[in-house]
Amino acid sequence: MMASPEFRKQLEGYSLATAEILYRMPDHPSLLQSYIWQDYDLCPEFPALRKFLDFWSRTLDGPLFKVTVAHCRLIKPAELKAVGAEFRLH
């Protein structure tokens, strides 16, 4: 059984990146439209997102207005918390 390509990317340091892209409507420039993009990418450079935004700028008519990016590492070191007390029943 082989690991999925997404899992392999996570082991290589990729994290799940989500971008909300606001762009102006080509026919109505005063209106903004929202587009959600999500993929595994390397933080903080985000090469996959930059490649997508370059493609957008070159080929699509709706000019970009604002891009908001969030990311989360899905595979990370275990989080340990100290327990201050222990209670036993029976």
**Per-residue pLDDT reduced to its tens digit, 15-74:** 999 999 999 999 999 999 999 999 999 988 999 999 999 999 999 999 999 999 999 877
Q: How many CB atoms lie within 10 A of CB 21?
A: 20
Question: pTM for this structure?
Answer: 0.76
Position 12 scores a pLDDT of 86
DSSP, collapsed to helix, strand or coil, labels residue 32 as strand
Report the pLDDT value the prediction gives residue 13, as an integer from 0 to 100: 85
Report d(CA 43, CA 16) in Å as an integer.
Answer: 9
Confidence of residue 1 (pLDDT cuts 50, 70, 90): confident
Q: What is the pLDDT of residue 81?
A: 65
DSSP state of 49: H
Q: What is the pLDDT of residue 8?
A: 86
